[in-house]
């Protein structure tokens, strides 16, 4: 506008300077006085187009008609040239304070800067109805409310301010606050109840699309039940219904990125710091009841179906996954607790205890020693109960069918390692008392040892406490092989030893045996030391030159006394 006034002032001054009706200059650069001379009134001021001259000196102005852009250019006080007017119709450009357009704006238009800064209007998407004081956004029709927004809408806060829709008293009906990792959660309030619609996409935010945070805080009276989300669907009429669902969650993964966890329903119960005592906390609580006289075919508290419908690989699948460290629990911990003693618990596939990959119907993890046992009786002064381990019987009323075998087998060994089966018992006191007996081996089956030809080898240690005896039998087979010939002696060696008030005596071994020899002789001797523990030794002396690993003995030990034995 400033430059337009400059042009007008120049025209207004012309009558005071000259009386010529038309000034036309063909020179490259002239002053106004040079162009006017002594003429009178100016009717037409014509300027020849040219390339941009030098900028105006300080405290002066310079104007010329640009032969390239075909419009007047003005330089003021040494500043850069700017367009004075644009277009054939003489539209004043926005850079000169104009609108940049010859458009007549519609009443109610909200003018904005369009392309190249030209003043524009878009009444179908932005319109103010002054007669009703209503604003329309993205609605072609006249706005029907104070704020009428059509199409998809995004309200985004760039700070911690709260966007709130309130009633006349200032009570919020809808509040969009800055809670959540992305600060974009919509909170719906009604009285003291609060529901948060989570719209953020933070990877660590696990509280779902609809987050409920109601608070039970009445001024008086106690309550029986308080629910954050309630669903009570019902049926009426005689029409059939395939499925009635109280709450349904069906999340799906359609993206190409990796999804760490996909949970249908996730329940978390938290008792906060400083809260009062809680009788029972449940992450999920299901009750299935039949309150009618109608027949129910199946009642399932929790039913889990895991299906794979595509060719994509599934690494692991778990029907029921209970994961908890029980951190801070000082009492009894149960990963799975089934209280009903009349309920039958059915598991069709292999059951793993301490292993997630059971091979057989009941498998224990093999990375540590395990004990399967029966707990002690909890009733005071009561004897223990019997545990029966029994193989399967033949079909009832079957003809001449054998029962199943009961097999006790040690774990597999490799190389020169050995594995045995031990049958244990408890020592018995000589008089009445309440002290537990000591668990000792009564029989060790499958013992094995490689011997050195002609040298004593310790086979078993026998405890001989003061004023006790130790006795037992070793049933054995000694083998010798030299690459050609074979020797074997099988027999049994009865041992005993006494300890009278610390004096150990009667350490003897008596053996009976038989041999089979393809060549040479084999002499097997047994001894037991007079010590505590007493050591039973064997010496196998062959006339052959035994191959590596021979002589060797395979044996079973049976203890007849109350003393402990240990295989060497």
Number of domains in the chain: 4
- What's CA 238's distance to the chain center, in Å? 45
> Do 440 and 558 belong together in one domain?
yes
> Do 72 and 166 belong together in one domain?
no
> Do 80 and 135 belong together in one domain?
no
> Do 483 and 560 belong together in one domain?
yes
> Do 164 and 69 belong together in one domain?
no
Better-scored residue on pLDDT, 81 or 305: 81
Q: Quick check: is 485 in a domain?
A: yes
Q: Quick check: is 254 in a domain?
A: no
Contacts 24+ apart (CB under 8 A), 410-413: 410/446, 411/366
Domain of 187, in residue numbers: 155-213
Q: Quick check: is 307 in a domain?
A: no
- Mean pLDDT calculated for residue range 72-79: 88
- Mean pLDDT calculated for residue range 205-234: 59
Question: How far is residue 448's CA from residue 554's CA, in Å, rounded to a whole number?
Answer: 4
| Closest-CA residue to 458 (of 528, 530, 549) | 528
Question: How far is residue 481's CA from residue 478's CA, in Å, rounded to a whole number?
Answer: 10
Looking at residue 478, which CATH number applies to its domain? 2.60.40
Q: Quick check: is 175 in a domain?
A: yes
Q: Quick check: is 382 in a domain?
A: no
Q: Quick check: is 228 in a domain?
A: no
Q: Quick check: is 105 in a domain?
A: no
For 520, phi and psi rounded to 5 degrees?
75, -165
418 pLDDT above the threshold of 90: no
Check residue 496 and give its pLDDT: 97
> Do 127 and 168 belong together in one domain?
no
Q: What is the DSSP letter of 242?
A: S
User: Which residues, including other chains, have CB under 8 Å from residue 191's CB and lie 6 or more apart?
Assistant: none
pTM: 0.54
Confidence of residue 214 (pLDDT cuts 50, 70, 90): low
- Mean pLDDT calculated for residue range 489-510: 97
Q: What is the DSSP letter of 35?
A: H
> Do 441 and 480 belong together in one domain?
yes
Confidence of residue 385 (pLDDT cuts 50, 70, 90): very high
> Do 456 and 547 belong together in one domain?
yes
Confidence of residue 46 (pLDDT cuts 50, 70, 90): confident
Better-scored residue on pLDDT, 479 or 179: 479
Check residue 215 and give its pLDDT: 57
> Do 425 and 550 belong together in one domain?
yes
Q: Quick check: is 45 in a domain?
A: yes
Check residue 28 and give its pLDDT: 53
Burial of residue 53 (number of CB atoms within 10 Å: 0-12, 13-18, 19+): middle
List pLDDT tens digits, range 283-326. 777 787 887 888 888 888 787 777 766 777 777 777 777 776 67
> Do 129 and 160 belong together in one domain?
no
Q: Are residues 466 and 499 in contact, defined by beta-carbon separation less than 8 angstroms?
A: yes
What average pLDDT does the structure give for the chain?
80
Confidence of residue 31 (pLDDT cuts 50, 70, 90): low
> Do 425 and 557 belong together in one domain?
yes
Q: Are residues 188 and 174 in contact, defined by beta-carbon separation less than 8 angstroms?
A: yes
Question: How far is residue 535's CA from residue 554's CA, in Å, rounded to a whole number?
Answer: 18
| Closest-CA residue to 557 (of 568, 542, 545, 546) | 568
> Do 134 and 181 belong together in one domain?
no
List pLDDT tens digits, range 333-367. 887 888 888 888 888 899 999 898 899 999 999 99
């Amino acid at each position: 506008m400033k430059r337009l006034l400059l042009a007008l002032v120049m025209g207004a001054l012309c009558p005071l300077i000259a009386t010529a009706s038309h000034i036309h200059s063909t020179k490259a650069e002239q002053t106004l006085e040079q162009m006017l001379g002594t003429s009178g009134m100016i009717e037409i001021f014509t300027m020849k187009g040219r390339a941009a001259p030098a900028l105006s000196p300080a405290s002066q102005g310079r104007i010329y008609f640009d032969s390239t852009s075909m419009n007047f250019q003005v330089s003021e006080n040494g500043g850069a040239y700017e367009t004075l007017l644009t277009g054939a119709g003489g539209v004043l450009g926005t850079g000169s304070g104009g609108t940049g357009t010859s458009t007549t704006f519609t009443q109610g238009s909200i003018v904005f800067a369009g392309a190249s800064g030209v003043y524009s209007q878009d009444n179908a998407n932005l319109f103010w109805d002054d007669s009703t004081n209503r604003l329309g956004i993205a609605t072609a029709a006249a706005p029907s409310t104070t704020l009428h927004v059509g199409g998809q809408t995004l309200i985004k806060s760039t700070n911690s301010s709260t966007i709130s829709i309130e009633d006349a008293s200032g009570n919020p009906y809808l509040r969009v606050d800055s809670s959540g990792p992305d600060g974009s959660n919509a909170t719906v309030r009604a009285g003291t109840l609060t529901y948060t619609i989570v719209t953020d996409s933070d990877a660590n935010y696990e509280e779902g699309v609809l987050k409920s945070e109601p608070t039970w805080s009445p001024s008086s009276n106690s309550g029986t039940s308080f629910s954050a989300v309630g669903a009570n669907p019902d049926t009426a009429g005689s029409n059939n219904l395939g499925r009635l669902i109280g709450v349904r969650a069906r999340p799906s993964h359609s993206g190409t990125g990796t999804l760490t966890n996909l949970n249908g329903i996730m329940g978390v119960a938290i008792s906060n710091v400083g809260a009062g005592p809680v009788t029972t906390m449940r992450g999920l609580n299901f009750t299935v009841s039949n309150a009618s006289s109608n027949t129910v075919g199946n009642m399932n508290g929790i039913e889990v179906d895991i299906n794979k419908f595509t060719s994509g690989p599934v690494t692991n699948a778990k029907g029921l996954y209970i994961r908890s460290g029980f951190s801070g629990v000082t009492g009894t911990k149960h990963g799975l607790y089934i209280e009903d003693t009349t309920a039958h618990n059915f598991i069709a596939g292999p059951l793993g205890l301490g292993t997630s990959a059971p091979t057989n119907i009941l498998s224990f993890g093999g990375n540590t020693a395990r004990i399967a046992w029966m707990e002690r009786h909890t009733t005071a002064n009561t004897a223990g109960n019997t545990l029966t381990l029994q193989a399967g019987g033949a079909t009832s009323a079957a003809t001449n069918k054998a029962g199943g075998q009961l097999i006790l087998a040690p774990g597999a060994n490799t190389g020169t390692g050995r594995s045995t089966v031990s049958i244990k018992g408890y020592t018995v006191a000589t008089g009445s008392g309440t002290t537990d007996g000591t668990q000792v081996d009564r029989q060790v089956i499958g013992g094995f040892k490689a011997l050195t030809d002609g040298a004593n080898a310790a086979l078993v240690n026998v405890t001989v406490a003061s004023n006790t005896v130790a006795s037992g039998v070793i049933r054995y087979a000694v083998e010798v092989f030299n690459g050609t010939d074979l020797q074997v002696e099988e027999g049994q060696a009865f041992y005993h030893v006494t300890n009278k008030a610390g004096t150990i005596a009667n350490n003897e071994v008596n053996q009976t045996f038989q041999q089979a020899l393809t060549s040479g002789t084999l002499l097997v001797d047994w001894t037991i030391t007079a010590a505590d523990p007493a050591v039973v030794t064997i010496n196998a002396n062959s006339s052959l030159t035994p191959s590596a690993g021979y002589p060797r003995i395979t044996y079973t030990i049976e203890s007849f006394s109350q003393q402990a034995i240990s295989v060497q």
